[in-house]
Amino acid sequence: MKNSISWLRVVTLFFSVFALMEFFIDSGAKPAFIEYPLASLFLLLILLVLIGVELILASVENVLFQTLTEPAKERYLANKSKSWEWKWAIETYQNLLGSKPMEEEGEITLDHNYDGIRELDNKLPPWWVYMFYATIIFAVAYLVRFEIMNDYDQDLEYEQEVAAAQLEIEAYKKTAKGLVDVNTVTLLTDASDLKAGKTIFETNCVACHMADGGGGIGPNLTDSNWILGGGIKNVFSTVSEGGRDGKGMVAWKQILKPAEMAQVSSYILIEINGKTPTKAKAAEGEIWIDPNPTEKEIPAIEKDSTTLATDLTTAALN
Ligand code: HEC
């Protein structure tokens, strides 16, 4: 009796479990069975159990088979060889090919006979014919949608994708603070950022600038005079690139991450600048005026309704 372990069944079940496991276990970039050794162990166990079950089934079948009478054994074997498993698949395949079995070819032989080479009048294979119909339907739908209704074209598709990507980049930049550089840095106002900035300042900067920013070896950071320019972009650039040669302020980009430099710069501008230190070093540099003040810093120009009305009339007349 043929060995009836269904290896196909074992392999299919095993890979189903494997796929389910990879799908449900969140293991980051690595596959779960590498990330978690326990998962590999579990898979091994599953494999052993599956093989075990097949072995048991096979021996049960064998034992039962031995208990049968001779004619029953024969009937059983005859039934078994008529394996149903692939029958439907083979039938479907045959139907799709639409070709006549070799024995019936006589029915479709044409009269042509070229030195013994004969011609069969086979039907077109149904798979081919159906695909051809499908292309016709597709072509009609395509023609109506894109040539008659002018749904969208490649240019529009391109623009939409670029716009979507732009949005994604913006969103990414917002979350990835580590990406800031002197062009993209903005004043951070979150309490957490300022707190981090304070820690960085106290660790690295107080030796020369004093805890309250009054100044020592380094200049006073509390006044509105700046040697190297005020505002977040200049301060960030000074912290990142250092001061003028030989003055003692190093380029902190060697030591601090961009995000940290943004935090400490914001801390200086928000928490230190404008406060009165216990011992203030004399102001150095120029009073700095922001060339591009942000909107809320522009003093609101108040107009009463009469001037507004005059403005509108003038505008209308022009
Ligand atoms: C070794 C002393 C020293 C340390 C430490 C130091 N600085 Fe300075 N800092 C200076 C000096 C000196 C200058 C003036 C540079 C110049 O004149 O070009 C300066 C200038 C500056 C300026 C520009 C001030 C202006 O008026 O334009 C900023 C902002 C600044 N430091 C921030 C920091 C920060 C933030 C840290 C800590 C991460 C730090 N400094 C650490 C010595 C120091």
Show Cβ contacts of residue 115 under 8 Å, excluding neighbours closer than 6 positions.
none
Show Cβ contacts of residue 235 under 8 Å, excluding neighbours closer than 6 positions.
226, 229, 265, 268, 269
Token pair 């070709």: residue: 99
Determine the Cα–Cα distance for residues 263 and 235; give it in Å rounded to an integer: 11
DSSP string over the chain: ------HHHHHHHHHHHHHHHHHHS--TTS-HHHH-HHHHHHHHHHHHHHHHHHHHHHHHHHHHHHHS-HHHHHHHHHHHHS--TTHHHHHHHHHHH-PPPGGGGGGGEEEEEETTEEEE-PPPPHHHHHHHHHHHHHHHHHIIIIIIS----HHHHHHHHHHHHHHHHHHHHHH-GGG--TTT------HHHHHHHHHHHHHHTHHHH-TTS--SSSPPSSSSEESS--HHHHHHHHHHH-SSTTSS---GGGTS-HHHHHHHHHHIIIIITTS--SSPPPP-SEEP--SS--GGGSPPPP--HHHHHHHHHHHHH-
Going by their DSSP bridges, the two strands 117-120 and 109-114 should be labelled as antiparallel
Question: To test the ligand 1 pocket, which listed residue (208, 210, 254, 270) has its Cβ within 8 A of the most ligand atoms?
Answer: 208
Q: Model-level pTM?
A: 0.50
244 CB under 6 A from ligand 1? yes
Question: To test the ligand 1 pocket, which listed residue (238, 240, 250, 253) has its Cβ within 8 A of the most ligand atoms?
Answer: 238
285 CB under 6 A from ligand 1? yes
238 CB under 6 A from ligand 1? yes
CA of 36 to the centre of ligand 1 (A): 49
* Tens of each residue's pLDDT in the chain, 318 residues: 445 557 888 888 999 999 998 888 887 778 888 888 888 999 999 999 999 999 999 899 889 989 988 888 888 887 776 666 677 778 888 888 877 777 888 788 888 888 888 888 888 888 899 999 999 999 999 999 999 998 888 999 999 999 999 999 888 877 776 678 888 888 999 999 999 999 999 999 999 999 999 999 999 999 999 999 999 999 999 999 999 998 889 999 999 999 999 999 999 999 999 999 998 899 899 998 888 766 444 444 444 445 455 555 555 555
Determine the Cα–Cα distance for residues 185 and 187; give it in Å rounded to an integer: 7
Determine the Cα–Cα distance for residues 244 and 59; give it in Å rounded to an integer: 88
Length of the chain measured in residues: 318
Determine the Cα–Cα distance for residues 104 and 100; give it in Å rounded to an integer: 6
CA of 209 to the centre of ligand 1 (A): 7
Determine the Cα–Cα distance for residues 110 and 93; give it in Å rounded to an integer: 26
Q: Is 124 exposed, middle or buried (0-12, 13-18, 19+ CB in 10 A)?
A: exposed
Question: To test the ligand 1 pocket, which listed residue (249, 250, 271, 288) has its Cβ within 8 A of the most ligand atoms?
Answer: 249
Tokens at residue 135, please? 């292309």
Q: Is 5 exposed, middle or buried (0-12, 13-18, 19+ CB in 10 A)?
A: middle
- Whose alpha carbon is nearest atom 16 of ligand 1? 243
Tokens at residue 211, please? 């805890």
Q: Which residues pair with 168 in a beta bridge?
A: none
252 CB under 6 A from ligand 1? yes
Determine the Cα–Cα distance for residues 267 and 208; give it in Å rounded to an integer: 16
Determine the Cα–Cα distance for residues 212 and 276; give it in Å rounded to an integer: 8
pLDDT given for residue 23 in this prediction: 87
CA of 217 to the centre of ligand 1 (A): 8
Q: Are 186 and 259 in contact (CB under 8 A)?
A: no
pLDDT given for residue 214 in this prediction: 93
Q: Closest Cα to residue 233, out of 260, 263, 264, 265?
A: 265
